[in-house]
Amino acid sequence: MSDAPKQRVALVIGSGGLKCAAALGTWRRLTEAGIGIDFVVGCSGGAIFGALVALGFAPEQAVKTAMLAWKSDVTSQVNYRDIAEMALPKWLKFSERFGIFRDAPILRGFEAAYGKFTMFEHTRIPFHVVCTDLLTGEPVVITRGRLVDAVRASAGIPLLFEPREVDGRLLVDGALSDPLPVDVAVRAGADLIIAVGFETPPQKDVRTVGAYAMQMFSNMTNQLLAYQFASASLMHHAEIITIVPPFEYNIGLNDVAKIPFIIEQGALAVEPHLDYLKRLLG
């Protein structure tokens, strides 16, 4: 019997909108292969679906709950007051809490999926959520407090959704500062990091405010992600396995009917790495 200490395995789920549901498929195959996860790091959409892993749902139940967490009505309630503020800032006094869409639908989904009063200490697997401080641009890692607040902050795409105040700081999408937060897993002491990352293709039609915001957001985060992919390959503090589920076409925020397909793409993407992962942990 080996006396070597057990290696700590982290599942890192980067930003990528609804495509981040692919991480549930990756996690399912890891579980089936006998590869356990010791802690989870989630950013943006990765926080939404990473929370389901951290809460200890069985893979089948996590898939069903994912359909509760993010529904097609998340962009159904327009915040006309904020839009008017953007158009007439001199008269209506523009606020840094601006958001095109109201919070009610997205909060309703998160509360249905995770529980309204679920705290970080209720997770079965330690969970780290990465956000961005709106005023400083610094990444902020949340590991305590109400789960819904942290996930909502991390998934707050600027312009589309208003910033979320957590512990006195206005927080927005974690993708703006750390779209694939392997550095968080390294600092937390991971020996083996399975990083699920996503590239965001450009919008084909940029003729609405929402599409324009997404185009600007995608351009910026893709550049950050390219840098982080390169940095991950140079890190020697831990073994880092990068998984990039392939998607031949764009997956929009409202494409919830595609969640089962997205999850299967994540399962397929990790398959070629399973034997190597087993050897590393053997």
Positions annotated as catalytic residues are 44, 173
Give Cα 145 to chain centroid, integer Å: 18
Element (DSSP H or E) covering residue 210 = helix 209-234
Strand partners, 165: 170
Distance CA(174)–CA(178), nearest Å, equals: 6
CB-neighbour burial class of residue 280 (10 A; exposed 0-12, middle 13-18, buried 19+): middle
Q: Cα 176–151–271 angle (5° rounding)? A: 80
Element (DSSP H or E) covering residue 182 = helix 182-187
